Amino acid sequence: MRPLVRQPALPEEMPGSRRNMLRAACALAGAACLPAWVTASAQGAAEPLDEHVAFRRVVAANRILANESVVDAFGHVSVRDPRDPSRYVMSHARSPALVEYADLMEFQQDGTPLDPRGRRAYGERMIHGAVYEARPDVNAVVHHHAYSVIPFAVSDIPLVPLTHTAAVIGSEIPVWDIAAHFGDTDTLVRTMEIGRDLAAVLADNTCLLMRGHGAVVVGATVQQAVLSAIYLEVNARILAQTLALTDTLKALSAVEVELARATQFSPLGAERAWEYYCRRAGVEPI
Amino acid sequence: MRPLVRQPALPEEMPGSRRNMLRAACALAGAACLPAWVTASAQGAAEPLDEHVAFRRVVAANRILANESVVDAFGHVSVRDPRDPSRYVMSHARSPALVEYADLMEFQQDGTPLDPRGRRAYGERMIHGAVYEARPDVNAVVHHHAYSVIPFAVSDIPLVPLTHTAAVIGSEIPVWDIAAHFGDTDTLVRTMEIGRDLAAVLADNTCLLMRGHGAVVVGATVQQAVLSAIYLEVNARILAQTLALTDTLKALSAVEVELARATQFSPLGAERAWEYYCRRAGVEPI
Amino acid sequence: MRPLVRQPALPEEMPGSRRNMLRAACALAGAACLPAWVTASAQGAAEPLDEHVAFRRVVAANRILANESVVDAFGHVSVRDPRDPSRYVMSHARSPALVEYADLMEFQQDGTPLDPRGRRAYGERMIHGAVYEARPDVNAVVHHHAYSVIPFAVSDIPLVPLTHTAAVIGSEIPVWDIAAHFGDTDTLVRTMEIGRDLAAVLADNTCLLMRGHGAVVVGATVQQAVLSAIYLEVNARILAQTLALTDTLKALSAVEVELARATQFSPLGAERAWEYYCRRAGVEPI
Amino acid sequence: MRPLVRQPALPEEMPGSRRNMLRAACALAGAACLPAWVTASAQGAAEPLDEHVAFRRVVAANRILANESVVDAFGHVSVRDPRDPSRYVMSHARSPALVEYADLMEFQQDGTPLDPRGRRAYGERMIHGAVYEARPDVNAVVHHHAYSVIPFAVSDIPLVPLTHTAAVIGSEIPVWDIAAHFGDTDTLVRTMEIGRDLAAVLADNTCLLMRGHGAVVVGATVQQAVLSAIYLEVNARILAQTLALTDTLKALSAVEVELARATQFSPLGAERAWEYYCRRAGVEPI
């Protein structure tokens, strides 16, 4: 699964101006100090590269999830590299609220950083690699410890979708317990072996709860993973409030979940939500 | 029910300055580029048009409901057109927090847009048209998915008014389940047929809960619909907190609800609240 | 109880600069346009007048209680006039978050405004007059509808102080039900007769809950009334959270309440808290 | 235990610029007006002094804990003086949200201020001195009254860690009741005798709850004490939410707590969190 050919590093955030600055700065030192993609891009199309958009969305996703209290000091977001599906991109080990474009790093699927430059990687990046390995349909992964989901991660109460906007979380949300196969640990997914164990329990679902730890949420796009992560948190709050009042509730049917999910992920739903959550987080929608 | 005569489009937000800019801009192109209402208004009174105020209040209502967490990325507000009661005005499909005056669109009662210009309409606008059709006393409609009301929309616990400021929600709040007549759907009110089914359950009440989805709140004015929507959310929170402690509680009597509602909707109550919620949302009260 | 001699109107907010502006403005018109207190003050001490400080604290109290979510669009604060104990000062009918110094009005104990100038008075100001009448030790009154206290106002669960900072609310918090003596109403205290009924139930306590409505909190000073109002809301939240978990809890003893209350109202406690709540509300501490 | 030699006062917050200003200001008055540490530092290394960093972290800790709602108007943070382990530094009696570097005071272990200059000391500083006396491993102490921990301080429900980020609170959290040995009080720890009673119950744990009052949280560093205080509040909220749903929950095992705690306190965890909480509080990370 490992890529054999090393690809160029990440594009800079503001291609126009920063490239010009880079070029000016490099004029004295020679073209060698320009990253390969700058040269490539300068030779190529004027349009923004796909991966450029994808990577900026990862930055936006970090800010959004922090702003919506899905993540706190901890948690992370990745995107599969559109240029090489065996790689993924995420920030170095930094709180999501603070992530800038320049914080992004690229990893091989097994978690090996391509260009670490002394930066510390998230200890749990193996979650991302293992999910990308197991799920070709997944292009974005969120890992978080949202407070409202923990009650469902430490008990046997199923986290069922109660309302149509939360249908994006899917009908089934399995709970994975690291202790089942790995005994007493710090509960972190530190190896591909542990990550594969988690991915097997995730199966083809969108969300998974980690006992005593948090959750994993996946999506075909960064926007879908972010929406599902936000509404997993919302639905957990609503469900807890409902269960504090009654044990007799009517959740969405499996068919309603599929139909409502399609609606929420249609442009009618997803674009409206993405613009909203970007603006709330002070991020320019892209 | 459909209007036969096409009316002029929406007035611009700032009649004075923007009209002058429009006129200046049109001086080269000819008067034809001025919308009909500008010409009409320039010929008529200097006072703000009724509909101008009503439409600006729709914009304010969107911002207020977002600011009070009644709506999130989704939800919408409409007002019946004071110039033609068979039409209503609401934003194109955009998150309420972001709605500007220029986002407003006009619809015939059956949901047909008068001047779409490529803009996407809310998928659930039929809620509004069906309610306006059934309720001549209603001039404003709010549709939302406030988290605190969902527990009462997926259970058989009645959402009763507990406190005088929440008397504006009325004594009876029916729950409508789309599945009763329409089976498994994405739970959206996409047709006038479904909307009429909802309006029949709403009957002459102010609020209605939608199973697995959200709520509809109506009012004689935009301000009344907004106040009722805010206090429906507040009362749901208070009631849930109370029911978590005891099953023995004393709700307002039906007479108290009617009397307190009249007080809250009097100028003493409604104007004070409208100024407050506008200011909190950063909107100039109008 | 009614004062026979009409006293000067309220002092302006910024005596120094605004007085000078007034004087400059009046130089053309003659000294008669200067309010009596300005003349008096100019002849007297350079120090701020007691009532000036008291009235500015009412403005601060309004902002603080709004900022701490004790009041929303509704609720009010008054102070007994230090110049005439049979009168009290509060804003005209405006949301507490928006109250400015110029919004203050003075009332006789029976609720008659001294200088209405067309301004609308709070419909429930009789709460204040009746409490000042019954309680010579009280110099400030807060009326609010904080959401967290309502569960204790519509049930028979006693709102007991759980923690030392909340000892300022006192050991006993009676619940008053307007319907007991006045039947079905809009639940507002609109007359001195109703106000006296409420004051009789308040007796010598600090806080009182109003069934289906809200609460009244009193203090020897504005600061004490504000602190008690804030911690009534806080204690109600904490107590509800505790009772959701267990019925077996250890509240403060009556002696602990008295001792902790004295500590919280000492300069060590009260001045620190007043500075904090003023700063949080964006108000200069005075 | 008392230090015999009086040490220089606290360093100024901004050594560079403010020292120069001090020097300029003192040029007329003579070097005697310069505090001893300025002279010492000017003669010594250009690097920031250890204690300077430690004391600035106390200021940051105050702001962070206020921003995260761990403290409100009340609560305090101290650090053991790196220059003399028998002394500690904390603000004078001021709300944590407002604490500036210039508010810091130094105390002997028994609570005697070294340089009071008329400033009022926190009434409960004996908590800090008694803990420093009993626990040589502790270099920072937080005392707070976070609302979410009170339910566990007034009942017999154990506050167990539910999730790995909260493992920093430790497995055992004893509850100390001042009334057990001291009868009815205002519940404040006003003497070293009471403080030693508390420290004996704290034993070698990280957190202790005070019945009817609040909590004490200790750490080897200011950052560790702050992280533990934040996650004590978070874990209390999560646990209360879980217990409202079910009595059957799976807490972290004791070994998981130790392992996850080590991870959270490693640079991978602690530095990321410190940067995040500083930035959220508007404090420059140091």
- Does the pLDDT at position C96 exceed 80? yes
Residue D214's SS3 state is strand
pLDDT at D51: 82
Q: Which residues of D touch C257 (CB under 8 A)?
A: none
Arithmetic mean of pLDDT over chain D: 86
Predicted confidence band of residue A155 (pLDDT cuts 50, 70, 90): very high
Cα A13 from chain centre: 19
Instruction: Please give the share of chain B, as a percent, with pLDDT higher than 90.
Output: 80
Q: Which residues of B touch C213 (CB under 8 A)?
A: 163-164
Chains that touch D (3 or more CB pairs under 8 A): A, C
Instruction: Please give the share of chain C, as a percent, with pLDDT higher than 90.
Output: 80
Q: Output B43 or B238, whichever has higher pLDDT.
A: B238
Nearest to A242 among B151, B185, B186 (CB): B151
pLDDT at C178: 98
Average pLDDT on D98-120 reads: 96
pLDDT at B147: 98
Arithmetic mean of pLDDT over chain A: 86
Ordered structural domains, chain D, with CATH:
50-280 (3.40.225.10)
Nearest to C120 among B164, B241, B268 (CB): B268
Question: Distance from A100 to chain D by nearest Cα, in Å?
Answer: 13
Q: Which residues of D touch A158 (CB under 8 A)?
A: none
Query: Which chain C residue has its CA at the smallest distance from D97's CA?
Result: C276
Q: Do the Cβ atoms of A165 and B145 come within 8 Å?
A: yes
Nearest to B246 among C157, C212, C213 (CB): C157
pLDDT at A26: 33
Predicted confidence band of residue D268 (pLDDT cuts 50, 70, 90): confident
Q: Which residues of A touch B75 (CB under 8 A)?
A: none
Q: Do the Cβ atoms of D213 and C164 come within 8 Å?
A: yes
Query: Which chain D residue has its CA at the smallest distance from C163's CA?
Result: D212
Q: In what order do the strands lie in the sheet with A207-210?
A: A104-108, A87-91, A76-80, A140-144, A214-219, A207-210, A175-176
Kindly state the DSSP code that residue B20 receives in the 8-state scheme.
H
Question: Distance from A125 to chain D by nearest Cα, in Å?
Answer: 13
- Does the pLDDT at position B268 exceed 90? no
For testing contact with chain B, the best of C94, C95, C119, C186 (most B CBs within 10 A): C186
Average pLDDT on C5-18 reads: 41
Average pLDDT on C52-79 reads: 97
Alpha helices in D189-221 (DSSP H): 192-202
Inter-chain CB pairs, A–B, below 8 Å: 110
pLDDT in tens, B124-162: 999 999 999 999 999 999 999 999 999 999 999 999 999
pLDDT in tens, A33-46: 323 332 233 333 33
How many CA atoms does the CB half-sphere of C48 hold within 13 Å? Answer: 14
Residue B188's SS3 state is coil
3-state secondary structure A188-204: CCCCHHHHHHHHHHHCC
ipTM over 0.95: no
Q: Do the Cβ atoms of C93 and B244 come within 8 Å?
A: no
Query: Which chain A residue has its CA at the smallest distance from D259's CA?
Result: A186
pLDDT at D280: 97
3-state secondary structure chain C: CCCCCCCCCCCCCCHHHHHHHHHHHHCCCCHHHCCHHHHHHHHCCCCCCHHHHHHHHHHHHHHHHHHCCCCCCCCEEEEECCCCCCEEEEECCCCHHHCCHHHEEEEECCCCECCCCCCCCCCCCHHHHHHHHHCCCCCEEEEECCHHHHHHHCCCCCCCCCCHHHHHHCCCCCEECHHHHHCCCCCCCCCHHHHHHHHHHHCCCCEEEECCCEEEEEECCHHHHHHHHHHHHHHHHHHHHHHCCCCCCCCCCHHHHHHHHHHHHCHHHHHHHHHHHHHHCCCCCC
pLDDT in tens, D191-226: 999 999 999 999 999 999 999 999 999 999 999 999
Show which residues on chain C lie within 8 Å of chain D, measured between beta carbons.
Answer: 162-165, 167, 234, 237-238, 241-242, 244-246, 248-253, 255-256, 259-260, 262-263, 267-269, 272-273, 275-277, 279-280
Q: Which sign, positive or negative, has the C-alpha torsion D244, D247, D250, D255?
A: positive
- Report the candidate in B281, B282, B286 with the shortest Cα–Cα distance to residue B64: B281
Q: Which residues of B touch C211 (CB under 8 A)?
A: 250
Say if CB D70 and CB D230 are below 8 A apart. Answer: yes
- Does the pLDDT at position C274 exceed 90? yes
Show which residues on chain A lie within 8 Å of chain D, measured between beta carbons.
Answer: 72-74, 93-95, 97-98, 120, 123, 145, 147-148, 150-151, 153-157, 177, 179, 184-188, 211-214, 240, 243-244
Q: Which residues of B touch C73 (CB under 8 A)?
A: 165, 272-273, 276-277
Average pLDDT on C237-248 reads: 96
Arithmetic mean of pLDDT over chain C: 86
pLDDT in tens, A93-123: 999 999 999 999 999 999 999 989 999 999 9
Average pLDDT on A178-200 reads: 98
- Does the pLDDT at position B43 exceed 80? no
Would you name the residues of C annotated as active-site residues?
124
Arithmetic mean of pLDDT over chain B: 86
Predicted confidence band of residue B17 (pLDDT cuts 50, 70, 90): very low
Chains that touch B (3 or more CB pairs under 8 A): A, C
Q: Do the Cβ atoms of C187 and B248 come within 8 Å?
A: no
Q: Which residues of A touch D148 (CB under 8 A)?
A: none
- Does the pLDDT at position D242 exceed 60? yes
- Does the pLDDT at position B10 exceed 70? no
Predicted confidence band of residue C158 (pLDDT cuts 50, 70, 90): very high
Average pLDDT on D222-247 reads: 97
Q: Do the Cβ atoms of C212 and B256 come within 8 Å?
A: yes
pLDDT at D5: 30
- Report the candidate in D56, D55, D91 with the shortest Cα–Cα distance to residue D74: D91
pLDDT in tens, A56-83: 999 999 999 999 999 999 999 999 999 9
Say if CB C194 and CB C232 are below 8 A apart. Answer: no
Q: Which residues of A touch D280 (CB under 8 A)?
A: 97
Q: Do the Cβ atoms of A241 and B151 come within 8 Å?
A: yes
Would you name the residues of B annotated as active-site residues?
124
Average pLDDT on C144-169 reads: 98
Predicted confidence band of residue C6 (pLDDT cuts 50, 70, 90): very low
Inter-chain CB pairs, B–C, below 8 Å: 110
Query: Which chain A residue has its CA at the smallest distance from D233's CA?
Result: A147
Q: Which residues of C touch B276 (CB under 8 A)?
A: 72-73, 95, 97-98
Predicted confidence band of residue D4 (pLDDT cuts 50, 70, 90): very low
- Does the pLDDT at position A143 exceed 80? yes
- Does the pLDDT at position B12 exceed 80? no
Say if CB A58 and CB A52 are below 8 A apart. Answer: no
pLDDT in tens, D64-91: 999 999 999 999 999 999 999 999 999 9
Task: Look up residue D17 and give its amino acid.
Answer: S
Q: Do the Cβ atoms of A186 and D248 come within 8 Å?
A: no
For testing contact with chain A, the best of D228, D235, D242 (most A CBs within 10 A): D242
pLDDT in tens, D13-69: 433 333 333 333 333 333 333 233 322 333 333 344 478 899 999 999 999 999 999
Say if CB C195 and CB C232 are below 8 A apart. Answer: no
Instruction: Please give the share of chain D, as a percent, with pLDDT higher than 90.
Output: 81
Average pLDDT on B175-198 reads: 98
Residue D268 tokens read as 């991978």
Residue D215's SS3 state is strand
Inter-chain CB pairs, C–D, below 8 Å: 110
pLDDT in tens, A218-275: 999 999 999 999 999 999 999 999 999 999 999 999 999 999 999 999 988 999 999 9
- Does the pLDDT at position B243 exceed 70? yes
- Does the pLDDT at position B21 exceed 90? no
Predicted confidence band of residue C267 (pLDDT cuts 50, 70, 90): confident
Chains that touch C (3 or more CB pairs under 8 A): B, D
Query: How do strand C207-210 and strand C214-219 relate by DSSP bridges?
Result: antiparallel
Average pLDDT on B22-28 reads: 34
pLDDT at D50: 79
pLDDT at A31: 32
Instruction: Please give the share of chain D, as a percent, with pLDDT higher than 70.
Output: 83
From CA A178, how far away is CA A176, in angstroms rounded? Answer: 6
Average pLDDT on D177-194 reads: 98
Nearest to A242 among B94, B95, B155 (CB): B155
For tokens 């507040």, name the residue. Answer: B234
- Does the pLDDT at position A2 exceed 50? no
Predicted confidence band of residue B200 (pLDDT cuts 50, 70, 90): very high
- Does the pLDDT at position A19 exceed 80? no
Nearest to B156 among A238, A248, A262 (CB): A248
Chains that touch A (3 or more CB pairs under 8 A): B, D
Say if CB C57 and CB C80 are below 8 A apart. Answer: no
Would you name the residues of D annotated as active-site residues?
124
List the Cα angle D27/D32/D37 in 5-degree steps. Answer: 100
Nearest to A272 among B95, B148, B185 (CB): B95
Q: Output D78 or B6, whichever has higher pLDDT.
A: D78
Question: Distance from D173 to chain A by nearest Cα, in Å?
Answer: 18
pLDDT at C50: 79
Gyration radius (Cα) of chain D, Å: 20
Would you name the residues of A annotated as active-site residues?
124
Q: Do the Cβ atoms of C155 and B268 come within 8 Å?
A: no
Say if CB D278 and CB D271 are below 8 A apart. Answer: no
Say if CB C260 and CB C231 are below 8 A apart. Answer: no
Q: Output C226 or D34, whichever has higher pLDDT.
A: C226
Give Dmax over CA atoms of chain A in angstroms. Answer: 73
Question: Distance from C77 to chain D by nearest Cα, in Å?
Answer: 21
pLDDT at D267: 86
Q: Do the Cβ atoms of C164 and D154 come within 8 Å?
A: no
pLDDT in tens, C207-225: 999 999 999 999 999 999 9
